[in-house]
Amino acid sequence: MQTWSLVSICVLLGLLVRWGVSFNSYSGARKPPLFGDYEAQRHWQEVTYNLPPHQWYFNTTDNDLNYWGLDYPPLTAYHSLICAHVAKMINPGWVELHTSRGHESPAHKLFMRATVLVADLLIYIPAVVLYCLYLCDGSAKRKVCTLLCFLLYPGIVLIDYGHFQYNGVSLGLALWGVLALGLGRDVLGSLAFSLALNYKQMELYHALPFFCYLLGKCIKLGLMGRGLFLLARIAVTVLVTFALCWSPFLSDPSQALQVVRRIFPVARGLFEDKVANAWCSLNTLVKIRTILSSDSQLYLSLAFTLLAVLPSSVRLLMKPTFWQFKLALANSSLAFFLFSYQVHEKSILLACLPVCLLLNDLPLVAIWFLQVATFSMLPLFLKDGLLVPYVVTSLAFLFFSTYLLSALDRCSEDELRLGAYRRLMICLPGVDLACVVRLKFYVSVVLMATLSIASAALAPPPRLPDLFPVLVSSCAFLHFFGTFVYFNIVQFSAPPGRKSQKKSN
C-alpha cells in the first residue's frame, strides 16, 4: 500500500511538470502562413473529420499536401479523427474545413494540451509505472525512484507539451510491447509494437530488436515444436493488426502505395536542419549533399545503418535474453538516428526510451545520455520559446536523477561494466576508468551549460549565423556516438549478475 502511495505521488509530480510546461509557447505560435507542428496536428484533425479516408493522403482541392499534409501511418490519422470529434462537440470552428487554418485561441490551446495529457494517462504513464514496478530490480524504494526519474525525463515532456506532438502514444505503445515481452507475453508484445509501428513509422528504429528477440526465442524453443507454434501466433497477430489498421486503403493498391509514399518521403534529402547525427556533423567538413546524388545518399545511409545495427541484432538473435533485448533497443535506435536517412532532431526520443529502460541498471550513463539528448534539441526549443522550461526541467532531472539513483556513487568499473575497456587499455594499467568517466561527465555537463548559455544569450558572428546550432549538434553527436560504442561493448560483454537477470526470458 505504501508503495502505491509513492507511485501515485510520482505520477502526480510527472503530471504537474507536464502541465506546467504546457503553459508555455508551442511550435509555430503566431507564425503564419504555415505556423508549426501545433497547426499540423490541428490540421490533421480538420482533414480526417471532413474528408473520407481515401482522400487523407492525396493532394486535392480540399487537401493541400503542401500545407501540413498527413505523413504518418493510419493509426495517427484515426487518433486525429477521434480528437476531431471531441473538438467538434466543443467548438465546430476548430475543425471547420479551410476556414480553421491557423486557428489560435486560449481555449483551443487548452484543448490540444489536454489531448496530449489524456493520451499519456491512457498509454504512456501506465506502461512506465508497470515497467518500473515489475521489470526493475531492487527494493520498492529504488523502483519508485526509477519511476520518478523516468517520468521526469525532460525530452519527451518538452517536445509533447511544449513543441507539441504525440510521441507519448507511439513510445507508450512500444513500451507496452517491451513490458509484455519482459513478462513473457510475446503475442501481446507483438500486438502492442505493431500498433506503435502503425502510429509512427519511426518506430522502425526499434523493429529489428523486437524481430530478433522473438525469432531468437522461437528458435531456442525449437522451430519443429513450441517455437513454430509461437512464431505462427506472432505472425498472425502482426498481419491481422496491420490489415485492420490499413483496411480502408487495401481495396485499391494505389491508395496503399500513396500512404507508403507519404510516410517515407525520400525526396526530402539526407537530413534537415542541424541534427546531431553522422551526416549532418560530417557535412560541416565535407559537403555530402553537393558531392553525392540523392540516390547515392540514400544507399550510403542504408548501408551504414545496416552495418551499424547488424552486430547488436545478431547478438540478440543468438542470445535472446531480456537484458540483451534492452541493450539492442538502445543500439538499434542509436544506429538509426546516427546513420539513417531523413533524421529529425526529435527522433532522438526513440533512443531515449530504451535508455530510460536502463536507468536502474546503468544510472550514470543513462542520465548522462538523456541529458545530452535534451541538450541536442536546444535550437528547436529556442525557436519555440521554450528556454525557461528547458532550463528548469533539465536541472531538475539532473539533480533528482543523480541523487535518487545514487548515480555518482554507483559508478565503479564493475557497475559501469568497463571490463572490456580495461582489457583494451593494457598499456595504462593504473588508470582508474571509473574516475575518468566521472570526470568526463562533469566536463560534459559544464560544456552543455556553456553552450546553452551562449546559444541563448550571444549573437553569432555575421559570417557564421549557424555557429551555435552546429556546435550543439556536433557536441551531441560525439556524445551519441561514444554512447553507441559503449552500449555495443556492454552488449557483447558478460551479462550482469544473476539478480539482474531474473526477469530474463
Whole-Å CA distances, 364 to 328, 329, 355, 403, 440: 19, 18, 11, 11, 11
User: What is the reported pLDDT for 418?
Assistant: 87
Residue 311 burial (CB < 10 Å; 0-12/13-18/19+)?
Answer: middle
Q: How high is the pLDDT of residue 215?
A: 97
pLDDT for residue 498: 47
In angstroms, the CA 189 to CA 155 distance is: 25
Nearest residue to 19 (alpha-carbon basis) of 121, 94, 170: 121
Q: CA 156, 144, 434 angle in degrees (round to 5)?
A: 80
* 10 contacts: CB under 8 Å, gap ≥ 6: 144, 147, 148, 151
Cell numbers for 32, please give them: 503564419
Q: Which residues pair with 60 in a beta bridge?
A: 63
What angle in degrees, to the nearest 10, is found between the helix axes of 363-376 and 349-356? Answer: 160
**Nearest-angstrom CA–CA distance, 274 and 263:** 22
CA distance linking residue 411 with residue 362, whole number of Å: 8
Alpha carbons within 13 angstroms on the beta-carbon side of residue 16 total: 7
CA angle 55, 59, 60 (to 5 degrees): 75
The whole-number pLDDT of residue 431 equals 80
pLDDT at 503: 41
> Three cell numbers at 198?
502503425
Q: Is 391 exposed, middle or buried (0-12, 13-18, 19+ CB in 10 A)?
A: middle
pLDDT at residue number 427: 55
Residue 89, phi then psi, degrees to nearest 5: -70, -30
CB 373 within 8 Å of CB 407? no
Q: Quote the CA–CA distance of 450 and 462 in Å, as a whole number.
A: 21
Specify the 3-state DSSP secondary structure of 199. helix
Nearest to 210 by CA among 223, 192, 228: 192
Query: Residue 1 has what pLDDT?
Result: 61
> Widest CA span of the chain, in angstroms?
71
Per-residue pLDDT at 63: 95
d(CA 50, CA 503): 48
Cell numbers at residue 71, please? 505523413
Three cell numbers written together for 419: 571490463
d(CA 116, CA 33): 24
DSSP single-letter state for residue 159: I
pLDDT, tens digit only, all 505 positions of the chain: 688 899 999 999 999 999 999 999 999 999 999 999 999 999 999 999 999 999 999 999 999 999 999 999 999 999 999 999 999 999 999 999 999 999 999 999 999 999 999 999 999 999 999 999 999 999 999 999 999 999 999 999 999 999 999 999 999 999 999 999 999 999 999 999 999 999 999 999 999 999 999 999 999 999 888 999 999 999 999 999 999 999 999 999 999 999 999 998 777 677 777 799 999 888 888 888 788 888 888 899 999 999 999 999 999 999 999 999 999 999 999 999 999 988 889 999 999 999 999 999 999 999 999 999 999 999 999 999 999 999 999 999 999 999 999 999 888 888 998 888 777 766 567 788 889 999 999 999 999 999 999 999 999 999 999 999 999 999 999 999 999 999 999 999 877 654 444 443 4
